[in-house]
């Protein structure tokens, strides 16, 4: 219930994600490193954790191939998403079939609550217990009917979570102090427990004032309440009847939507709150591009950066002359390192540059535009360049010597 309530992945999925990250990182280590050798041996023998990986992938409709490891990262992102959806569906089915937490089926039909909005940990704990029916009461399915009756009042009703928190007359004074009413119907009780923000659980629904959204750039009135007053249908508001939260939403945001917006509440006197929206577009950069000149035999280091991305790109693919770079090719010495963060950076490293390594390299982030850089490998090896220089110097010395002989003869 706790996993379903907080909307987070289970401990199993979190531990699996850590394991996958370690394996992918080990595979990016240089050849000969022990972690990489151990991981590659498990994959080669199709044993241990790799078999379980393939079984999990098959369960969610994904084929995890030992030979095609270049797409593992993107495949795992899909697998985690599908596994979490399947996990939540399974939890929901167990909730529907539960005979003990009967009321929880009704309060979870709405969006999950925001426990971060609770005043403290104690309040969050009691809200969780109230929603899940985890307060220890007389109602227990395995007890006799008589033992399940409320021991406080004389209504001769089952002491379940609804009776205890919403109906029992002995607790009416406490209930009125905290919720504003002495008793609640089942519908009202369910509505209150389904609040996404429990700080406002005792609020008066009749006190909700009209909320308007204004764009400061042109002082344009965008919405009033749930009505939109602009021809741009990308703007609209959402409001849950159980809360006092009004949200302005913009479909397909564009750069021109950046600016200051104000939320105004029609109270007396009126209140307002301004906020600044900045819409950014992910930009791809290759350091030193678009042309890079590399000496023969040196290391090619192509650095691709993705900036202004709201979230790090799930994957970054490198291609050479329109073919995806193969990190396990017989050529060897090709590796990639990706560091994710506010600025995601991918380093393509190619050791001992050859003539065949020249050409166009493209950095392809999954959530930004691709960018191409052209690598030029110097036409001569360093040794040949050095010998050529010596020959030219000797040639120039001979020409000067002959010229001096001619001048001496004429003199």
pLDDT tier at 203, thresholds 50, 70, 90: very low
Q: Is the pTM of this model over 0.75?
A: no
Asked whether residue 264 carries a pLDDT value surpassing 80, the answer given is yes
Given this model, what pLDDT does residue 261 score? Answer: 94
For residue 374, what pLDDT is reported? Answer: 92
Beta bridge partners of 371: 363
Residue 48: pLDDT band with limits 50, 70, 90: confident
Out of 52-61, 113-122, 330-339, 388-397, which region has the weakest mean confidence (pLDDT)?
Answer: 388-397
**What is the dotted CATH code of the domain comprising 206-277?**
2.60.40.10
Tell me the C-alpha to C-alpha distance, in Å, between residue 99 and each of 14, 134, 329, 397.
Answer: 29, 13, 58, 102
Write down the pLDDT at residue 37.
Answer: 92
At residue 96, does pLDDT exceed 50? Answer: yes
pLDDT per position as a tens digit, 305-347: 888 887 888 888 989 888 888 888 888 888 888 888 888 899 9
What 3 state SS string does 233-269 have?
Answer: CCEEEEECCCCCCEEEEECCCCHHHCEEEEEEECCCC
Peptide bond just before 55 cis, omega within 30 deg: no
Residues sharing a CB contact under 8 Å with residue 161, sequence separation 6 or more, in sequence order: 103, 130, 133, 135, 137, 139
CA dihedral (139, 141, 145, 149) in degrees, to 10, reads: 0
Contact 211, 264 (CB under 8 A): yes
- Per-residue pLDDT tens for 5-29? 766 778 888 899 899 999 989 988 9
**Cα(365)–Cα(314) distance, rounded to whole angstroms?**
8
Position 383 pLDDT exceeds 60: no
pLDDT at 34: 93
The count of other CB atoms within 10 Å of the CB of residue 272 is: 10
- For 273-312, letters b (16+ CB in 10 Å) and e give eeeeeeeeebebbbeebeebebebeeebebbbbbeebeeb
What's the Cα-to-Cα distance from 10 to each of 16, 23, 84, 324, rounded to whole Å? Answer: 10, 20, 8, 35
CA 157/CA 164 separation, integer angstroms: 10
Q: What percent of the chain has pLDDT over 70?
A: 76
pLDDT at 262 over 70: yes
Q: What is the mean pLDDT of the chain?
A: 78
Residues 154 and 318: their CA atoms lie apart, in Å, by 75
d(CA 156, CA 279): 61
Two tokens, residue 142 = 């395995």
Residue from 270, 200, 298, 296 nearest 241 by CA: 200
CB 296 within 8 A of CB 350: no
Given a cut of 70, whether residue 241 has pLDDT beyond it is: no
pLDDT confidence band for 116 (50 / 70 / 90)? low
- At the second CATH level, the architecture of 283-379 is Sandwich (2.60)
pLDDT at 224: 77
Q: Are strands 316-320 and 300-307 parallel, antiparallel or unpaired?
A: unpaired
The predicted structure's pLDDT at residue 94: 75
* pLDDT bracket for residue 81 (50, 70, 90): confident
Residue 161 pLDDT more than 70?
A: yes
Predicted confidence at residue 288, as pLDDT, reads: 85
pLDDT band of 159, cuts 50, 70, 90: confident
* Model confidence at 246: pLDDT above 50: yes
Q: What is the DSSP letter of 165?
A: I
What does the block give as tokens for 184? 């609640």
Distances (CA, A) of 109 to 5, 105, 122, 362, 411: 12, 7, 25, 47, 111
For residue 121, count other CB atoms closer than 10 A to its CB: 9
For residue 222, which of 231, 210, 213 has the smallest C-alpha distance? 213
What order of strands is seen across the sheet that includes strand 316-320? 291-294, 371-377, 359-365, 316-320, 323-324
Specify the length of the chain in residues: 411
pLDDT exceeds cutoff 50 at 30: yes
Q: List residues bridging with 247 in a β-sheet.
A: 238
Per residue in 218-228, pLDDT (tens digit) is 888 888 777 78
């Amino acid at each position: 219930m706790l996993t379903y309530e907080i909307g987070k992945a289970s401990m199993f999925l979190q531990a699996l994600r850590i394991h996958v990250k370690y394996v992918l990182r080990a595979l990016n280590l240089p050849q000969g490193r022990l972690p990489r050798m151990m991981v590659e041996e498990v994959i080669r023998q199709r044993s241990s954790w790799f078999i379980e990986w393939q079984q999990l992938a098959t369960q969610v409709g994904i084929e995890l191939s030992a030979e095609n490891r270049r797409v593992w990262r993107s495949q795992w992102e899909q697998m985690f998403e599908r596994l979490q959806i399947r996990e939540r569906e399974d939890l929901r089915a167990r909730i529907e079939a539960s005979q003990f937490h009967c009321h929880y089926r009704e309060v979870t039909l709405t969006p999950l609550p925001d426990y971060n909005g609770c005043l403290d940990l104690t309040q969050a704990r009691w809200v969780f217990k109230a929603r899940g029916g985890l307060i220890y009461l007389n109602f227990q399915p395995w007890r006799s009917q008589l033992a399940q009756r409320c021991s406080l009042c004389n209504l001769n009703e089952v002491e379940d979570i609804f009776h205890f928190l919403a109906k029992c007359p002995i607790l009416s004074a406490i209930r009125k102090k905290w919720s504003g009413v002495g008793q609640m119907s089942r519908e009202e009780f369910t509505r209150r427990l389904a609040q996404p923000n429990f700080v406002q659980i005792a609020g008066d629904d009749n006190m909700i004032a009209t909320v308007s959204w204004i764009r400061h750039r042109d002082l344009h009135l965008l919405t009033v309440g749930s009505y939109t007053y602009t021809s741009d249908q990308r703007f609209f508001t959402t409001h849950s009847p159980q809360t006092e939260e009004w949200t302005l939403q913009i479909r397909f945001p564009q750069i021109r939507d950046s600016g200051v917006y104000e939320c105004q509440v029609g109270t007396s006197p009126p209140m307002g709150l301004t906020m600044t929206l900045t819409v950014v577009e992910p930009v791809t950069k290759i350091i030193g591009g678009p042309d890079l000149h590399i000496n023969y035999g040196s290391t090619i280091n192509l650095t691709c950066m993705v900036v202004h991305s709201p979230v790090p790109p799930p994957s970054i693919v490198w291609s050479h002359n329109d073919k995806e770079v193969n990190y396990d090719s017989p050529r060897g010495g090709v590796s990639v390192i990706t560091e994710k963060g506010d600025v995601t950076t991918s380093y393509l490293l190619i050791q001992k540059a050859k003539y065949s390594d020249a050409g166009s390299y493209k950095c392809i982030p999954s959530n930004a535009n691709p960018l191409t850089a052209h690598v030029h490998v110097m036409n001569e090896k360093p040794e040949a360049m050095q010998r050529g220089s010596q020959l030219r110097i000797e040639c120039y010395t001979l020409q000067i010597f002959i010229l001096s002989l001619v001048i001496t003869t004429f003199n």
